[in-house]
Structure 1
Amino acid sequence: MMLSRFCIYFDEVAKRGSIRRASEHLNITPSAIDRQILMMEEKLGVPLFDRMPKGLRLTAAGEVLVSTIRRWRRDLRNVEAHIDELRGLRRGEVTLALVDGSGEFVTRCLETFSRSYPGIVFHMQLTVSQGVVDRVLSGEADIGLAFNPPERHDVRVERALVYQIGAVMPADHPLAGRNEVTLSECAQHPLVGPDQGNVLRMILDNVWSQTLGELPRFAASASSVTLIKSLVMHRLGIGFLTAIDVATEVASGQLRFVPLTDVKMPLSALSLISAAGRPQSAATSLLIQQLASAMLDENVPHIG
């Protein structure tokens, strides 16, 4: 099924805030996109965008229209997926919004899932937890994985994986043979942590100051879980992550996850979410079942 050119052009401009950037992404001339928008504005009798010095911003009418178009595009994808299921083609598309730190868990699940449903295509978007919620509710993503999503009537938590933070180190580190370790013992070694402003950094700073009376001194800091793991594996220091973050490296023997014993880190939850009341495509429903089952079975060490 074909979507109207206006809907495609309008949605892309709304996402990118610029006709030029939308034209580059769609490989369509800016004049063709601008013409479609101007024609619709004339037909509706209202502007859809405020023309700003540095781009375009949706008007109230534009917000209403883009919400309707995205809902229509999502519903159309669902219809197409259901028709494909009826044909026995097992095709479809699923868009997932993910927080940093959930990627490896998701890709492990997708590896198994794609063997059963090789015709399903996945689109993954990395963002912060609030961004995951926003994209799921706007229809930009079908489902999401977020840390501690807000309790809202329009957000459905399909499954949650509860965990706590532990110390992460190379397998031959002096503390790697321990079943548990204290913060004071970790403080005797170089440390690797998340950047300032990161939620995990704020948790570590708070717990560290309460336990040891000072802030942690990091030999290196990084903006992503992947970079923190790389720094730890290259022996720049002990890192602080969850067992979810390092499951692959622990299984391969590259890293060791050691629970912290002298401090009670706040419990957190990685939650699989969808928009409450929204019909899901067959492909999305199947993937929700796969991810929820994997989260139920996941053996994640944490302090109760």
Structure 2
Amino acid sequence: MRHLTTYRVVDAVARTGSIRRAAETLALTPSAVQRRVAAFEDELGQPIFERLATGVRLNAAGELVLHHIREEFAGTERLRSRLADLAGVRRGHVAIACSQALAPYFLPAEIAAYRTLYPQVTFDVRVLDHIAATSAVEDFSVDLAIVYGVDDLPTIDTIAAVRQDIAAIVARGHPLAGRAEVRLREVLDYPLALPHRSFEGRRLFDRSMARKGLAVPAYLESNSFEYLKAHVACTDAVAIQIPIGAPPPEADGPIVAVPIAERDLTPGMLTLRQLKGRTLSVAAARFVDRIRQSLSQRFAPV
């Protein structure tokens, strides 16, 4: 598999857009990286990078080559995983793209539980919006995506889909804390600290407001749910989050989640996705099965 070394060099140059930065990533000299790329282009019979004053970028041929390289990486990882499984050693690597909501509670717990069974499996978790996560699935950068937001694509298989409505996130001492549920109009009695409009949850929240003829602007917006949670913990503001990203009821922290009445909201959907027709490694396939089961046990399927 000596060719994989060259593939890793090409992949690093494509990701960094620079011979020098790729060399730093790979612990090689820039001249060694340059020679490897040049030799690969000579073997192909055409260049795959455009040389720019600020670095390099893939040309059209290079995009095709990179897609092939990442397919090879995925196939090699699948082979290694199967060989390890055959030998009784449960090894492998699982690359995941996920929405921010999965990062604080659900995914860490699922990975920790999985690694108690298979401690030699490694993980790469990338927090991305649902469009970038889907692109990462398509170009073999990740094995699977768990994202909030729906866009049907012919290249993507949706393995599981569960309903995710929106909850109000408030400080533990807030007047709304401790309620079984709140109405949307009650939430609007307090300052709103909301995610940017690029987030699916914000779009659904705004859609629900418009449907009811309500218009209360947020006094604070952020692209970080961690910041929003920290902000409401020390103010009387209300943030929003989906249940999978909200603190669980048993959590003893500075914030709590209060469900907003279903009849007031446009429903949302969390999906588990992989590339259509792709055969995952044993480690990744087992993890997908685990996530699918966990989602179906905790939330209403769509």
TM-score normalised over the length of structure 2: 0.91
Give the match for residue 34 of structure 1: 34
Give the match for residue 238 of structure 1: 238
CA-CA distance at 1:154 after TM superposition: 2.0
Question: 226-235 vs 154-163, which deviates more?
Answer: 226-235
Which runs of structure 1 show a deviation greater than 4 angstroms over 4 or more consecutive aligned residues?
none
CA contact (8 A) 2:205 2:266 kept: no
Say what the alpha-carbon RMSD is for the aligned residues: 2.2
Deviations 1:31-56 (A, max 9, x none): 11111111222232211111123322
Measured in 1, the distance between the counterparts of 2:141 and 2:261 equals 41
Secondary structure of the corresponding residue to residue 7 of structure 1: helix
Give the match for residue 266 of structure 1: 266
Question: What one-letter code is carried by the residue in structure 2 that aligns with 1:28?
Answer: L
Secondary structure of the corresponding residue to residue 9 of structure 1: helix
CA contact (8 A) 2:148 2:200 kept: no
Measured in 2, the distance between the counterparts of 1:262 and 1:79 equals 46
* 1:24 corresponds to 2:24: yes
Give the match for residue 138 of structure 2: 137
CA-CA distance at 1:293 after TM superposition: 0.6
Deviations 1:67-111 (A, max 9, x none): 111111110111011000111111111111112111221111112
Secondary structure of the corresponding residue to residue 157 of structure 1: strand
CA contact (8 A) 1:96 1:123 kept: yes
CA-CA distance at 1:159 after TM superposition: 1.0
Change over 3 Å in CA distance of 1:295–1:16 after alignment to 2: same
TM-score normalised over the length of structure 1: 0.90
Give the match for residue 167 of structure 1: 168
Question: 42-51 vs 183-192, which deviates more?
Answer: 183-192
What is the aligned length?
300
Measured in 1, the distance between the counterparts of 2:167 and 2:12 equals 42
CA-CA distance at 1:230 after TM superposition: 1.6
CA-CA distance at 1:178 after TM superposition: 2.3
Change over 3 Å in CA distance of 1:90–1:13 after alignment to 2: same
CA-CA distance at 1:209 after TM superposition: 4.4
Deviations 1:116-144 (A, max 9, x none): 11111111111111111111111110111
CA contact (8 A) 2:163 2:299 kept: no
Give the match for residue 250 of structure 2: 251
Within a 5 Å distance, the mapping from 1:1-304 to structure 2 comes to: 3-103=3-103, 104-211=105-212, 213-218=214-219, 220-248=220-248, 250-254=249-253, 255-261=255-261, 264-299=264-299
Question: What one-letter code is carried by the residue in structure 1 that aligns with 2:206?
Answer: D
Question: 227-236 vs 126-135, which deviates more?
Answer: 227-236
Measured in 1, the distance between the counterparts of 2:276 and 2:262 equals 40
CA contact (8 A) 1:41 1:47 kept: yes
